[in-house]
């Protein structure tokens, strides 16, 4: 029994045979002027089959070229000789399976089998009429056979067209080659480990008895910095530098740059980070310090430490506002309505998606994060370009208090963090929150889910294909992987998210003339 790959070769070989038989019909009917209507039918059938043959071969060519990556050399060789022994190689089928994915391969086999069945039926019917003779009985026989053969087969031709159309779409949605090297993947993992370790180190170093809540605001980075992880492996240093602004109560702000180092160097161990940061405001102007000291997630003598350096802080940016509140207020500048330009939306979406890959399932970014977790620092109340492209995410350290409970995702949500990203992207497109204060559904696990599902089909019309596909993939986790594998700790899944979410957004930004 032929394999799925061999069946594709058989289909390619069957099309020319059908066309050849139709040509034989046409030649036999040339002497019969009264059968003009049947000659037209044959011409139409030939055009239909020729068109379907071209579409099928083009789809196969795209698939073969994606598998072998040799500028179409192997693809042209296979299509030129569809019955060659090369089609029978077992490793060829394995390559096709990987490229299409498990579900895609099953669909592929079903489509190819149905196409072959329809072509077989047409071939059998056409073969009944060969050879065509010019005897007196020919006319009655041809008349009867032609009306029997082609009129009932219109449905078969329609089905053939639909199957090949599905086949083309299947090939278009094949596994995308992800341009993410192992070293770049390591950077994501390293960044996450650094951020998680910093959270633990800060928590251990806050040993004060003050009643004020301690908040650390981690900057998610500018658009260029967000994509730094995706650049050449040789760019940048090996150290991860995190910008963190600490807040104590409602008025005390301290901006710092924190570096992960393999040794403490000349830094001293910070016994109490709360006291050290509050003393910083009184002593920094008199005695500038390049380093405040270091904190560690384990013991003071550990080989891995987080060196904390003070950085300049703008007094005009003491206020913070969440993305949710910004969308609710509908005001970006004093006296001007809120408006996210397309460039701003793309850049912010890239920052959020890249940050998600580096901070997922961590103390900084819980799985069911929302637009309330994304913070901006406006300048004197106005949300300027710098504020938009320098978002923050906060993490509270309530000392002995219990950590906030984890929010469970709604049923049928395969990846909560990506689902949350999809909802936030919808809000960027809509320029408003998914729900307002009067629209809360206290009986639902996620009140926003209903509105997100209703708005998702409208995104294509409002924002175009790229946004629609990215949001759909995030909401429904459409990455051609099983549920158990659809976690960001899985390297292959993370690469899929990078290739099918971040890359399309980056390309859209590039098309607008923005450098990546």
Distance separating alpha carbons of residues 173 and 247, to the nearest angstrom: 47
How does the average pLDDT of the chain come out, rounded?
A: 76
Provide mean pLDDT across the span 329-348.
73
Percentage of the chain with pLDDT > 90? 15
pLDDT level of residue 428 (50, 70, 90 thresholds): very high
Residue 161, CB half-sphere, CA atoms under 13 Å: how many?
12
Rounded (5°) CA angle 256-262-266: 65
pLDDT number for residue 418: 96
The per-residue pLDDT for range 88-105, each reduced to its tens digit, is 787 888 888 877 777 778
Closest by CA to 199, choosing from 9, 477, 396, 407, is: 396
pLDDT for 350 equals 93
Mean pLDDT of all residues in 420-435: 93
Distance CA 448, CA 434 (A): 6
The confidence score (pLDDT) of residue 355 equals: 92
Cα(516)–Cα(509) distance, rounded to whole angstroms?
8
Higher local confidence (pLDDT), 334 or 267: 267
pLDDT category of residue 173 using cuts at 50, 70 and 90? low
Residue 30 confidence (pLDDT): 44
pLDDT tens digits, one per residue of 208-242: 777 777 889 999 865 446 555 455 444 444 456 88
**Residue 376 belongs to what H/E stretch?**
strand 374-376
Considering only residues 378 and 338, tell me which one the structure prediction assigns the higher pLDDT.
378
d(CA 384, CA 247): 22
The residue among 284 and 171 whose pLDDT is bigger is 171
Please tell me which residue, 460 or 23, carries the higher pLDDT value. 460
Beta carbons of 376 and 325 less than 8 angstroms apart: no
- Mean pLDDT over residues 394-418, rounded? 74
pLDDT at position 138: 36
- pLDDT value at residue 236: 42
**Read out DSSP for 133-153?**
--SHHHHHHHHHHHHHHHSTT
pLDDT for 231-289, tens place per residue? 544 444 445 688 898 887 666 678 888 888 776 667 788 888 888 887 776 555 445 56
Task: Pull the structure tokens for residue 284.
Answer: 């920094």
Q: What is the pTM of this model?
A: 0.67
Binned at pLDDT 50, 70 and 90, residue 48 comes out as confident
- Res. 177: pLDDT tops 60: no
pLDDT grade for 33, boundaries at 50, 70 and 90: very low
Q: State yes or no: pLDDT of 421 exceeds 90.
A: yes
Rounded to the nearest 5°, which phi and psi values hold at 297?
-85, -10
Domains of the chain: 4-172 (no CATH), 182-317 (no CATH), 321-390+404-511 (1.10.510)
pLDDT of residue 273: 85
Banded pLDDT at 2 (limits 50, 70, 90): low
Instruction: Find where tokens 């923005």 sit.
Output: 514
Pairing relationship of beta strands 374-376 and 392-397 according to DSSP bridges: antiparallel
Predicted local confidence at residue 282, as pLDDT:
54
Residue 17 confidence class, pLDDT cut points 50, 70, 90: low
Report the SS3 class of residue 254. Answer: strand
pLDDT digits (tens, 9 = 90+) for 440-462: 555 667 888 888 999 999 999 99
Percent of the chain past pLDDT 70, that is, above it, reads 69
């Amino acid at each position: 029994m032929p394999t799925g790959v061999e069946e594709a070769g058989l289909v390619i070989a069957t099309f020319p045979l059908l066309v050849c038989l139709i040509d034989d019909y046409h030649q036999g009917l040339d002497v019969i002027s009264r059968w003009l209507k049947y000659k037209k039918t044959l011409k139409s059938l030939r055009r239909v089959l020729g068109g379907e043959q071209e579409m099928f071969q083009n789809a196969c060519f795209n698939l073969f070229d994606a598998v072998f990556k040799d500028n179409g050399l192997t693809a042209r060789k296979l299509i030129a000789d569809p019955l060659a022994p090369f089609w029978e190689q077992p490793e060829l089928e394995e390559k096709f399976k990987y490229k299409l994915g498990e579900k895609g391969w099953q669909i592929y086999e079903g489509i190819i089998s149905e196409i072959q069945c329809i072509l077989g039926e047409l071939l059998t019917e056409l073969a009944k009429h060969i050879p065509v003779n010019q005897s007196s009985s020919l006319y009655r026989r041809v008349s009867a056979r032609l009306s029997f053969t082609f009129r009932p087969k219109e449905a078969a031709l329609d089905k053939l067209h639909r199957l090949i159309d599905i086949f083309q779409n299947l090939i278009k949605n094949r596994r995308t080659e992800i341009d993410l090297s192992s070293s770049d993947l390591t950077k994501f993992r390293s960044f996450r480990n650094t951020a998680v370790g910093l959270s633990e180190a800060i928590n251990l170093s806050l040993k004060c008895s003050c009643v004020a809540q301690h908040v650390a605001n981690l900057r998610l980075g500018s658009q260029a910095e967000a994509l730094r992880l995706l650049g050449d492996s040789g760019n940048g240093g090996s150290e991860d530098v995190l910008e963190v602004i600490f807040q104590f109560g409602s008025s005390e702000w301290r901006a710092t740059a924190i570096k992960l180092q393999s040794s403490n160097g000349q830094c001293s161990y910070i016994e109490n980070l709360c006291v050290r940061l509050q003393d910083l405001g009184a002593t920094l102007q008199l005695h500038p310090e390049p380093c405040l000291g270091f904190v560690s997630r384990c013991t003071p003598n550990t080989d891995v430490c987080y060196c904390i350096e003070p950085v300049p802080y703008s007094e005009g940016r003491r206020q913070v506002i969440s993305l949710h509140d910004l969308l609710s207020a509908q005001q970006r500048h004093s006296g001007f309505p809120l408006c996210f330009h397309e460039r701003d939306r793309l850049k912010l979406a890239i920052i959020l998606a890249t940050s998600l890959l580096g901070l997922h399932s961590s103390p900084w970014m819980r799985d069911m994060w929302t637009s309330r977790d994304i913070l901006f620092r406006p300048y004197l109340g106005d949300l300027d370009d710098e504020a938009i492209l320098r978002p923050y995410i906060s993490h509270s350290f309530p000392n002995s208090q219990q950590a906030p409970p984890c929010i469970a995702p709604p049923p049928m949500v395969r990846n909560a963090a990506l689902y949350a990203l999809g909802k936030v992207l919808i809000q960027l497109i809509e320029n408003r929150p998914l729900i307002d204060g009067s629209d809360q559904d206290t009986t639902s696990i996620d009140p926003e889910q209903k509105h997100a599902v209703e708005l998702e089909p409208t995104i294509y019309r409002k924002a175009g294909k790229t946004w629609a596909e990215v949001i759909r993939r995030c909401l429904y986790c459409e990455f051609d992987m099983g549920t158990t594998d659809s976690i960001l700790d899985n390297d292959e899944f993370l690469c899929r998210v990078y290739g099918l979410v971040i890359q399309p957004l980056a390309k859209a930004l590039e098309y607008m003339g923005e450098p990546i």
